[in-house]
């Protein structure tokens, strides 16, 4: 891992580069230029070169990047070369879908427990794991050294679930509930909000279909 802290915006793009590199490897492409990788990742090549320079990766002039090695460097930087035990709390519609998603395990995220407060759900087998009572959280975190907690409960329960996770020693939380969580500074929270993403698309869709608005700088009142 690099000793210096990488900018957050670069960290957010590393998984995108990783996906692009995986698809190059699937096509047995062993080296690529920054332009090729940038276009596969959907960013401009200057930004890609700057991002990769934070990893100490500059490619070789005239040859480009070694795809396999760059994939290893990025995976190591993100921490994907190690195993991350994960718990999912709230095994309703979304919790079931997350538990059944094979993409986590193939990227090093191992779901070790599924927890729910509803006694009626407990004992049900989902993706090979029995849903367990939420009260077992601390014991499970201790037993498996859980690094990441996923919250898939209704919004009203999310802060309390998060507080219990933090008390149990979890330092990274992925929150699917549509509510902002308060955590101590050493805890990282990422929020996934599909509704907000749809609203952003709706905003762009609306702008695309709206008639072009006049340039405000040509408005005599604005100019005056």
Choice between 123 and 154, CB closer to ligand NAD: 154
Residues 41, 49: Cα–Cα separation, whole Å: 12
Examine residue 152 and tell whether it contacts ligand NAD (CB under 6 A).
yes
Examine residue 149 and tell whether it contacts ligand NAD (CB under 6 A).
no
Give the chain as a 3 state SS string: CCCCCCCHHHHHHHHHHHHHHHHHHHCCCCEECHHHHHHHHCCCHHHHHHHHHCCCCCCECCCEEEHHHHHHHHHHHHCCCCCEEEEEECCCHHHHHHHHCCHHHHCCEEEEEEEECCCCCCCCEECCEEEEEHHHHHHHHHHHCCCEEEECCCHHHHHHHHHHHHHHCCCEEEECCCCCCCCCCCCEEEECCHHHHHHHHHHHHHHHHCCCCCCHHHCHHHHC
Examine residue 154 and tell whether it contacts ligand NAD (CB under 6 A).
yes
- 90 labeled binding residue: yes
Examine residue 132 and tell whether it contacts ligand NAD (CB under 6 A).
no
- 108 labeled binding residue: no
Least distance (Å) between residue 148 CB and ligand NAD: 16
- Alpha carbon distances (Å) from 39 to 8, 45, 209, 222: 21, 8, 28, 40
Examine residue 194 and tell whether it contacts ligand NAD (CB under 6 A).
yes
Least distance (Å) between residue 15 CB and ligand NAD: 18
Examine residue 174 and tell whether it contacts ligand NAD (CB under 6 A).
no
Least distance (Å) between residue 84 CB and ligand NAD: 20
Question: With CB under 6 A as the contact rule, which of the stretches 8-16, 47-55, 112-120, 181-189 interacts with ligand NAD?
Answer: 112-120
Q: How many residues bind ligand NAD (CB under 6 A)?
A: 25
Question: With CB under 6 A as the contact rule, which of the stretches 8-16, 26-34, 60-68, 151-159 interacts with ligand NAD?
Answer: 151-159
Examine residue 178 and tell whether it contacts ligand NAD (CB under 6 A).
yes
Examine residue 176 and tell whether it contacts ligand NAD (CB under 6 A).
yes
Question: With CB under 6 A as the contact rule, which of the stretches 13-21, 57-65, 191-199, 207-215 interacts with ligand NAD?
Answer: 191-199
CA nearest 80: which of 15, 142, 127, 22?
15
Write out the binding residues: 90-95
Report the interface residues with ligand NAD, using CB under 6 A: 89-95, 116-118, 121, 134, 152-155, 157, 160-161, 176-178, 192-194
């Amino acid at each position: 891992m690099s000793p210096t802290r990488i900018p957050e915006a670069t960290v957010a793009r590393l998984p995108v580069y990783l996906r692009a590199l995986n698809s190059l490897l699937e096509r047995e492409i062993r080296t690529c230029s920054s332009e090729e990788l940038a276009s596969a990742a959907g960013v401009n090549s200057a930004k890609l070169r700057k991002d990769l320079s934070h990893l100490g990766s500059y490619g070789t002039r005239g040859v480009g990047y070694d795809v396999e090695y760059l994939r290893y460097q990025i995976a190591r930087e993100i921490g994907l070369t190690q195993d991350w035990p994960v718990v999912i709390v709230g095994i309703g519609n979304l919790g079931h879908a997350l538990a059944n998603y094979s993409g986590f395990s193939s990227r090093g995220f191992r779901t070790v427990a599924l927890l729910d407060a509803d006694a009626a759900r407990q004992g049900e087998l989902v993706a090979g794991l029995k849903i367990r009572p939420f009260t077992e959280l601390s014991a499970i975190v201790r037993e498996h050294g859980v690094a990441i907690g996923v919250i898939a409960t209704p919004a009203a329960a999310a802060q309390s679930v998060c507080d219990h996770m933090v008390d149990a020693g979890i330092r990274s939380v992925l929150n699917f509930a549509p509510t902002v969580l308060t955590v101590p500074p050493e805890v990282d929270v990422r929020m996934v909000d599909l509704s907000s993403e749809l609203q952003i698309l709706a905003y762009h869709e609306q702008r695309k279909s709206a008639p072009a608005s006049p340039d405000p700088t040509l408005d005599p009142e604005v100019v005056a």
